[in-house]
Structure 1
Protein backbone atom coordinates (compact mmCIF):
# COMPACT_ATOMS: atom_id res chain seq x y z
CA UNK A 1 0.00 0.00 0.00
CA UNK A 2 1.26 3.47 -0.89
CA UNK A 3 0.30 6.63 0.97
CA UNK A 4 0.74 10.06 -0.57
CA UNK A 5 0.18 13.31 1.33
CA UNK A 6 0.00 16.54 -0.65
CA UNK A 7 0.29 19.56 1.66
CA UNK A 8 -0.50 22.75 -0.18
CA UNK A 9 -2.02 26.00 1.18
CA UNK A 10 -4.03 26.26 -2.06
CA UNK A 11 -6.17 23.24 -1.09
CA UNK A 12 -9.53 24.45 0.20
CA UNK A 13 -10.55 21.25 2.03
CA UNK A 14 -9.40 17.75 2.91
CA UNK A 15 -9.81 15.29 0.04
CA UNK A 16 -9.16 11.57 0.31
CA UNK A 17 -8.81 9.43 -2.81
CA UNK A 18 -8.42 5.67 -2.70
CA UNK A 19 -7.16 4.05 -5.90
CA UNK A 20 -7.41 0.29 -6.02
CA UNK A 21 -8.09 -2.57 -8.40
CA UNK A 22 -10.82 -4.10 -6.22
CA UNK A 23 -12.62 -3.73 -2.91
CA UNK A 24 -10.57 -5.56 -0.27
CA UNK A 25 -10.70 -5.97 3.51
CA UNK A 26 -7.96 -3.34 3.78
CA UNK A 27 -10.07 -0.82 1.85
CA UNK A 28 -13.14 -1.62 3.98
CA UNK A 29 -11.05 -1.17 7.13
CA UNK A 30 -9.80 2.23 5.91
CA UNK A 31 -13.36 3.31 5.10
CA UNK A 32 -14.56 2.29 8.56
CA UNK A 33 -11.82 4.39 10.16
CA UNK A 34 -12.67 7.37 7.95
CA UNK A 35 -16.36 7.11 8.86
CA UNK A 36 -15.53 7.99 12.43
CA UNK A 37 -15.14 4.68 14.25
CA UNK A 38 -11.61 5.55 15.33
CA UNK A 39 -11.87 4.77 19.03
CA UNK A 40 -11.35 1.03 19.28
CA UNK A 41 -10.53 0.77 22.95
CA UNK A 42 -11.02 2.92 26.01
CA UNK A 43 -8.36 3.27 28.67
CA UNK A 44 -9.64 3.93 32.19
CA UNK A 45 -7.35 5.40 34.84
CA UNK A 46 -7.54 5.08 38.62
CA UNK A 47 -4.70 5.68 41.09
CA UNK A 48 -2.02 5.60 38.36
CA UNK A 49 -3.30 2.23 37.11
CA UNK A 50 -4.49 1.88 33.54
CA UNK A 51 -7.35 -0.46 32.61
CA UNK A 52 -8.16 -1.52 29.06
CA UNK A 53 -11.94 -1.40 28.78
CA UNK A 54 -14.20 -3.11 26.31
CA UNK A 55 -17.32 -1.19 25.29
CA UNK A 56 -19.55 -3.83 26.90
CA UNK A 57 -17.92 -3.08 30.30
CA UNK A 58 -19.00 0.58 30.23
CA UNK A 59 -22.39 1.66 31.59
CA UNK A 60 -22.00 5.39 30.88
CA UNK A 61 -19.57 8.28 30.52
CA UNK A 62 -20.02 11.55 32.36
CA UNK A 63 -18.19 14.81 32.78
CA UNK A 64 -17.46 16.31 36.14
CA UNK A 65 -15.50 19.50 36.33
CA UNK A 66 -13.07 19.39 33.43
CA UNK A 67 -12.65 15.61 33.48
CA UNK A 68 -14.52 12.72 31.88
CA UNK A 69 -15.22 9.49 33.75
CA UNK A 70 -16.60 6.09 32.83
CA UNK A 71 -18.91 4.17 35.15
CA UNK A 72 -17.81 0.59 34.43
CA UNK A 73 -17.93 -2.97 35.70
CA UNK A 74 -14.47 -2.20 37.14
CA UNK A 75 -15.68 0.89 38.98
CA UNK A 76 -15.52 4.59 38.25
CA UNK A 77 -12.51 5.39 36.03
CA UNK A 78 -11.20 8.56 34.43
CA UNK A 79 -10.82 8.57 30.64
CA UNK A 80 -8.80 10.91 28.45
CA UNK A 81 -11.44 11.55 25.78
CA UNK A 82 -13.93 14.40 25.51
CA UNK A 83 -17.64 13.55 25.61
CA UNK A 84 -18.25 14.81 22.08
CA UNK A 85 -15.46 12.51 20.78
CA UNK A 86 -16.97 9.54 22.58
CA UNK A 87 -20.48 10.38 21.38
CA UNK A 88 -19.59 10.43 17.70
CA UNK A 89 -17.15 7.52 17.79
CA UNK A 90 -19.27 5.17 19.91
CA UNK A 91 -22.70 5.78 18.43
CA UNK A 92 -22.49 2.52 16.49
CA UNK A 93 -21.58 0.70 19.69
CA UNK A 94 -24.90 1.63 21.34
CA UNK A 95 -23.90 4.79 23.21
CA UNK A 96 -26.49 7.59 23.29
CA UNK A 97 -26.48 11.10 24.73
CA UNK A 98 -28.60 11.30 27.93
CA UNK A 99 -27.76 14.87 28.93
CA UNK A 100 -25.19 17.59 28.37
CA UNK A 101 -22.85 15.73 30.72
CA UNK A 102 -23.75 12.04 30.14
CA UNK A 103 -23.47 9.48 27.33
CA UNK A 104 -24.81 6.03 28.16
CA UNK A 105 -24.54 2.51 26.80
CA UNK A 106 -28.13 1.70 25.86
CA UNK A 107 -27.26 -2.02 25.90
CA UNK A 108 -26.98 -1.88 29.71
CA UNK A 109 -30.36 -0.21 30.30
CA UNK A 110 -32.98 -2.55 31.77
CA UNK A 111 -35.85 -0.07 31.71
CA UNK A 112 -36.84 3.57 31.27
CA UNK A 113 -39.29 5.39 33.50
CA UNK A 114 -41.00 8.61 32.40
CA UNK A 115 -41.32 11.42 34.94
CA UNK A 116 -43.92 14.17 35.23
CA UNK A 117 -41.30 16.79 34.36
CA UNK A 118 -40.76 15.22 30.92
CA UNK A 119 -37.41 13.65 31.68
CA UNK A 120 -36.69 9.90 31.90
CA UNK A 121 -34.96 7.73 34.43
CA UNK A 122 -32.83 4.91 33.01
CA UNK A 123 -32.40 1.85 35.23
CA UNK A 124 -29.17 -0.02 34.48
CA UNK A 125 -28.28 -3.70 34.79
CA UNK A 126 -25.89 -2.85 37.65
CA UNK A 127 -28.77 -1.50 39.76
CA UNK A 128 -27.79 2.15 39.27
CA UNK A 129 -29.87 4.78 37.56
CA UNK A 130 -29.15 7.84 35.46
CA UNK A 131 -31.50 10.56 34.23
CA UNK A 132 -32.21 11.56 30.64
CA UNK A 133 -32.84 15.29 30.36
CA UNK A 134 -35.98 16.47 28.54
CA UNK A 135 -33.90 17.71 25.61
CA UNK A 136 -32.64 14.17 24.86
CA UNK A 137 -35.88 12.21 25.50
CA UNK A 138 -36.90 12.44 21.79
CA UNK A 139 -33.51 10.99 20.81
CA UNK A 140 -33.96 8.07 23.21
CA UNK A 141 -37.47 7.44 21.88
CA UNK A 142 -36.07 7.43 18.35
CA UNK A 143 -33.31 4.98 19.29
CA UNK A 144 -35.87 2.73 20.99
CA UNK A 145 -38.26 3.15 18.06
CA UNK A 146 -41.15 4.27 20.24
CA UNK A 147 -43.49 7.10 19.37
CA UNK A 148 -45.20 9.79 21.33
Structure 2
Protein backbone atom coordinates (compact mmCIF):
# COMPACT_ATOMS: atom_id res chain seq x y z
CA UNK A 1 0.00 0.00 0.00
CA UNK A 2 1.33 3.40 -0.93
CA UNK A 3 1.21 6.19 1.69
CA UNK A 4 1.82 9.87 0.96
CA UNK A 5 2.06 12.84 3.31
CA UNK A 6 1.75 16.37 1.99
CA UNK A 7 2.74 18.81 4.72
CA UNK A 8 1.45 22.34 4.35
CA UNK A 9 0.80 24.46 7.45
CA UNK A 10 -1.63 26.64 5.51
CA UNK A 11 -3.82 23.71 4.42
CA UNK A 12 -6.68 22.43 6.55
CA UNK A 13 -6.18 18.79 7.50
CA UNK A 14 -8.11 16.02 5.81
CA UNK A 15 -7.48 12.44 4.78
CA UNK A 16 -8.60 10.69 1.61
CA UNK A 17 -8.41 6.92 1.25
CA UNK A 18 -8.36 5.34 -2.20
CA UNK A 19 -9.06 1.64 -1.68
CA UNK A 20 -10.60 -1.28 -3.56
CA UNK A 21 -12.69 -2.20 -0.54
CA UNK A 22 -13.02 -1.18 3.10
CA UNK A 23 -11.57 -3.88 5.34
CA UNK A 24 -12.13 -4.17 9.10
CA UNK A 25 -8.48 -3.18 9.68
CA UNK A 26 -8.95 -0.01 7.63
CA UNK A 27 -12.15 0.79 9.52
CA UNK A 28 -10.19 0.55 12.78
CA UNK A 29 -7.69 3.09 11.43
CA UNK A 30 -10.53 5.43 10.45
CA UNK A 31 -12.16 5.03 13.86
CA UNK A 32 -8.88 5.82 15.64
CA UNK A 33 -8.26 8.88 13.48
CA UNK A 34 -11.73 10.20 14.22
CA UNK A 35 -11.19 9.71 17.95
CA UNK A 36 -8.19 12.05 17.79
CA UNK A 37 -10.58 14.95 17.21
CA UNK A 38 -12.49 14.32 20.44
CA UNK A 39 -12.60 17.36 22.70
CA UNK A 40 -13.31 16.67 26.34
CA UNK A 41 -14.42 19.66 28.40
CA UNK A 42 -13.54 19.81 32.08
CA UNK A 43 -15.42 21.89 34.63
CA UNK A 44 -13.89 23.39 37.80
CA UNK A 45 -16.39 25.59 39.58
CA UNK A 46 -17.24 28.29 36.99
CA UNK A 47 -14.30 27.60 34.67
CA UNK A 48 -14.68 25.35 31.63
CA UNK A 49 -11.42 24.05 30.13
CA UNK A 50 -10.72 21.88 27.08
CA UNK A 51 -8.69 18.91 28.32
CA UNK A 52 -5.81 17.52 26.30
CA UNK A 53 -6.39 13.78 25.93
CA UNK A 54 -2.69 12.96 26.06
CA UNK A 55 -2.44 14.68 29.48
CA UNK A 56 -5.38 12.92 31.14
CA UNK A 57 -4.16 10.36 33.68
CA UNK A 58 -7.49 8.77 34.53
CA UNK A 59 -11.23 9.25 34.48
CA UNK A 60 -13.37 7.91 37.29
CA UNK A 61 -16.83 7.99 38.75
CA UNK A 62 -17.23 9.34 42.24
CA UNK A 63 -20.57 10.03 43.94
CA UNK A 64 -22.48 9.61 40.65
CA UNK A 65 -20.28 12.25 38.94
CA UNK A 66 -17.50 11.63 36.40
CA UNK A 67 -14.11 13.28 36.93
CA UNK A 68 -11.03 13.49 34.72
CA UNK A 69 -7.65 13.88 36.39
CA UNK A 70 -4.54 15.33 34.82
CA UNK A 71 -1.35 16.74 36.33
CA UNK A 72 -3.08 20.11 36.70
CA UNK A 73 -6.03 18.93 38.74
CA UNK A 74 -9.37 17.17 38.71
CA UNK A 75 -12.20 18.25 36.43
CA UNK A 76 -15.85 17.30 36.31
CA UNK A 77 -16.83 15.82 32.95
CA UNK A 78 -20.35 15.75 31.48
CA UNK A 79 -20.02 12.28 29.88
CA UNK A 80 -20.66 8.87 31.39
CA UNK A 81 -17.92 6.24 31.56
CA UNK A 82 -19.59 4.02 28.94
CA UNK A 83 -19.72 6.99 26.54
CA UNK A 84 -16.06 7.83 27.12
CA UNK A 85 -15.00 4.22 26.44
CA UNK A 86 -16.41 4.64 22.93
CA UNK A 87 -15.08 8.17 22.38
CA UNK A 88 -11.51 7.92 23.69
CA UNK A 89 -8.52 6.54 21.75
CA UNK A 90 -7.07 3.09 22.45
CA UNK A 91 -4.50 4.30 24.97
CA UNK A 92 -7.39 4.63 27.44
CA UNK A 93 -8.18 1.34 29.15
CA UNK A 94 -11.31 0.62 31.17
CA UNK A 95 -10.26 -1.08 34.42
CA UNK A 96 -13.63 -1.16 36.16
CA UNK A 97 -17.20 -0.10 35.54
CA UNK A 98 -16.33 3.28 37.04
CA UNK A 99 -12.77 3.98 35.91
CA UNK A 100 -10.66 4.42 32.79
CA UNK A 101 -6.88 4.95 32.88
CA UNK A 102 -4.50 6.30 30.29
CA UNK A 103 -2.11 3.46 29.43
CA UNK A 104 0.72 5.99 29.01
CA UNK A 105 0.51 6.96 32.70
CA UNK A 106 0.85 3.45 34.15
CA UNK A 107 4.17 3.26 36.01
CA UNK A 108 3.96 -0.37 37.09
CA UNK A 109 1.64 -3.12 38.31
CA UNK A 110 1.40 -5.08 41.52
CA UNK A 111 0.09 -8.60 40.98
CA UNK A 112 -1.30 -10.58 43.90
CA UNK A 113 -1.34 -14.35 44.18
CA UNK A 114 -5.13 -14.27 44.00
CA UNK A 115 -5.13 -12.66 40.56
CA UNK A 116 -5.81 -9.09 41.64
CA UNK A 117 -3.99 -6.25 39.88
CA UNK A 118 -3.09 -2.89 41.40
CA UNK A 119 -2.04 -0.19 38.92
CA UNK A 120 0.54 2.31 40.13
CA UNK A 121 0.28 5.50 38.11
CA UNK A 122 3.12 7.93 37.31
CA UNK A 123 1.77 10.46 39.82
CA UNK A 124 1.97 7.86 42.61
CA UNK A 125 -1.77 7.09 42.78
CA UNK A 126 -2.84 3.46 43.13
CA UNK A 127 -6.00 2.07 41.60
CA UNK A 128 -7.43 -1.42 41.41
CA UNK A 129 -8.49 -3.41 38.39
CA UNK A 130 -11.87 -5.02 39.03
CA UNK A 131 -12.01 -8.78 38.67
CA UNK A 132 -14.24 -8.49 35.64
CA UNK A 133 -11.53 -6.55 33.72
CA UNK A 134 -8.41 -8.49 34.82
CA UNK A 135 -8.28 -10.79 31.78
CA UNK A 136 -8.87 -7.86 29.41
CA UNK A 137 -6.04 -5.86 31.02
CA UNK A 138 -3.66 -8.83 30.95
CA UNK A 139 -4.40 -9.37 27.27
CA UNK A 140 -3.88 -5.67 26.51
CA UNK A 141 -0.58 -5.56 28.42
CA UNK A 142 0.62 -8.88 27.02
CA UNK A 143 1.05 -10.57 30.41
User: How high is the TM-score relative to the length of structure 1?
Assistant: 0.71
Which residue of the other structure, out of 70, 82, 85, is the alignment partner of 2:68?
70
**Shift in CA distance, 27/49, structure 1 to aligned 2, threshold 3 Å:** farther
Which residue of the other structure, out of 85, 88, 99, is the alignment partner of 1:87?
85
Q: Which residue of 1 aligns with 2:11?
A: none
Supply the distance in 2 between the matched residues of 1:134 and 1:101 (Cα, whole angstroms): 13
Which residue of the other structure, out of 79, 100, 103, is the alignment partner of 1:103?
100
Task: For residue 54 of structure 2, give the secondary structure of its aligned residue in structure 1.
Answer: helix
Q: Which residue of 2 aligns with 1:25?
A: 15
RMSD over aligned CA atoms reads: 2.4
Task: For residue 126 of structure 1, give the secondary structure of its aligned residue in structure 2.
Answer: coil
Q: CA deviation at 1:85?
A: 1.1
Q: Which residue of 2 aligns with 1:137?
A: 134
User: How high is the TM-score relative to the length of structure 2?
Assistant: 0.73
Supply the distance in 2 between the matched residues of 1:36 and 1:103 (Cα, whole angstroms): 19
- Structure 1 stretches lacking a partner, 5+ long: 1-23
Q: Would you say the 8 A contact 1:36–1:88 is kept in 2?
A: no
Count of aligned residue pairs for this structure pair: 120
Supply the distance in 2 between the matched residues of 1:39 and 1:102 (Cα, whole angstroms): 22
- Structure 2 stretches lacking a partner, 5+ long: 1-13, 19-26
Are 2:33 and 1:49 equivalent residues in the alignment? no
Q: CA deviation at 1:79?
A: 0.5
